[in-house]
Structure 1
Amino acid sequence: MPSLATSHPHLPRHATADTDISVLPRIFEDAYNIAILQRRLPADVALSAQAQCLTQRPWQYSWLGSPDEAFMADLRRQLPAPEAATPLLDDMVTIAEAIAFLFDTETIGIRLRLLNSAMCPRFHCDNLPVRMVTTYHGPGSEWLPEHATNRAGLGAPNPNRPEIVTDDSAIQRLAAGDIALIKGSGWEGSEEHGLVHRSPSMTEGETRLLMTIDPA
């Protein structure tokens, strides 16, 4: 499977991507505000995730603590299809443990959401140090290269604000399965350089299963 840098030759200098997990620690480098581990979801994980999407209503689950057995048991009880949840849960725990190790913390905030519309449709920058995002089903998050961003347009919508996007053709999108670490404005040294991103637009009947992790 080619790396994102190979399949997207115009990857901006502030982004790094690879198919090896060693790409994720590069988020600590000043040069990058997004680090992407590109991966193809294993078939059993994809099917397990899809089973949780076969419901008429959006839902969300959140957990603050360690990604331990108590987390798995609590989430399993609340999933729409708990009998099909094991591959998804195992994958979530593997990712969560890796993020906790990377940021040297025992406490992380995990959120899993089934969406049927864009959660944050406007391009924005998170007001926190860093967030992990991965999409298990449906379209992935979209983000802007710095050269296509007018940061004067960020913030609450206002008729006097300029457009944020200066080049629509430059918009990037994560694929389902990709694991991305995104710097926000709360990261020391990135107060004015956090990644600008948004939720993808969704068509009628489309769903998206999104997991985010915030190191505490």
Structure 2
Amino acid sequence: MSVPALSQPNAGDTTAWHAEHWAIGNDIEVLPRIFEDHTNIAIMRRELDAPLLASVAAQCHVDRAWQWSWLGSPDAEMQADLLRRLPAPAEARPLVDDIQTLAEAMAYLFEADMIGIRLRLLDSAMCPRFHCDNLPVRLVTTYHGPGSEWLPEAALNRAGLGIPSADKPEIVADAAGIQHLQVGDLGLLKGSGWVGNEPRGLVHRSPALDSGQKRLLMTIDPA
């Protein structure tokens, strides 16, 4: 992956950040825009090809939810462990290859020797309340089912974040402004643990799932 030269925005220009704090594109070169001071989400739109969709479907045709996690280098040992743990290993190669590519890209982009990965088949919303993560950055992608939801600043009341209480306002200031990641999209979410981004971590939540609906979610954190 070739990382383009990044612009140097004015860190004090909060007006620009409130007006447009996201970067969305169809090419991988949109992802390094997460380094821009005013950007707290970078999204690469992508469609999964037929072999990958078939591989994903095979892992979802199970009776129970499952998960796999890894903390280490994105290497052959990681691939072997994932193949051992997936419920349908015979059909797993396209999914494993995609995860390997994304893990290597995250390690390269953030100059990380280790990455943390979680791959989970969910049958209920994991984090249904809007929140921001207390970590620097996370890659989120949904292989099956509805994608993560996030709020632009114009649709958000940050005073409502945190532990719910009767005197707190609603987090969502404009329900029509709720944004959705689609299947296959790569979302880089900047959290409140990113130095200089403490008061403005990306606010997001897990989507609601209908009865019987499943979601295959992967997150990657540079470690």
TM-score by length of 2: 0.90
Question: Is 1:114 aligned to residue 87 of structure 2?
Answer: no
Question: Is 1:60 aligned to residue 46 of structure 2?
Answer: no
Q: CA deviation at 1:160?
A: 2.0
- Corresponding residue of 2:183: 176
Moved over 2 A (4+): none
Q: CA deviation at 1:55?
A: 0.8
The 5-angstrom pairing of residues 35-50 of structure 1 reads 35-50=42-57
SS in 2 for 1:192: helix
In the alignment, the residues of structure 1 paired with residue 218 and residue 57 of structure 2 have an alpha-carbon distance, to the nearest angstrom, of 14
Q: CA deviation at 1:132?
A: 0.3
The 5-angstrom pairing of residues 1-216 of structure 1 reads 13-216=20-223
For residues 44-70 of structure 1, what are the alpha-carbon distances to aligned partners after superposition, in whole Å with 9 as ceiling and x for unaligned?
A: 111101110111111111100011111
In the alignment, the residues of structure 2 paired with residue 64 and residue 41 of structure 1 have an alpha-carbon distance, to the nearest angstrom, of 25
In the alignment, the residues of structure 2 paired with residue 67 and residue 45 of structure 1 have an alpha-carbon distance, to the nearest angstrom, of 19
Query: What RMSD, in angstroms, separates the aligned Cα atoms of the two structures?
Result: 0.8
Q: CA deviation at 1:158?
A: 1.7
- Corresponding residue of 1:8: none
In the alignment, the residues of structure 2 paired with residue 172 and residue 134 of structure 1 have an alpha-carbon distance, to the nearest angstrom, of 14
Q: Among all aligned residue pairs of Structure 1 and Structure 2, give the percentage whose two residues are the same amino acid.
A: 64
In the alignment, the residues of structure 2 paired with residue 66 and residue 99 of structure 1 have an alpha-carbon distance, to the nearest angstrom, of 11
For residues 31-86 of structure 1, what are the alpha-carbon distances to aligned partners after superposition, in whole Å with 9 as ceiling and x for unaligned?
A: 21000010001111111011101111111111000111111111111111011000
Identify unmatched segments of 5+ residues in structure 2: 1-18
SS in 1 for 2:30: helix
Q: Which amino acid aligns with 2:113?
A: E
Q: Which amino acid aligns with 2:48?
A: L
Q: CA deviation at 1:162?
A: 1.1
Q: Which amino acid aligns with 2:49?
A: P
For residues 151-180 of structure 1, what are the alpha-carbon distances to aligned partners after superposition, in whole Å with 9 as ceiling and x for unaligned?
A: 111111222211100100000000000001
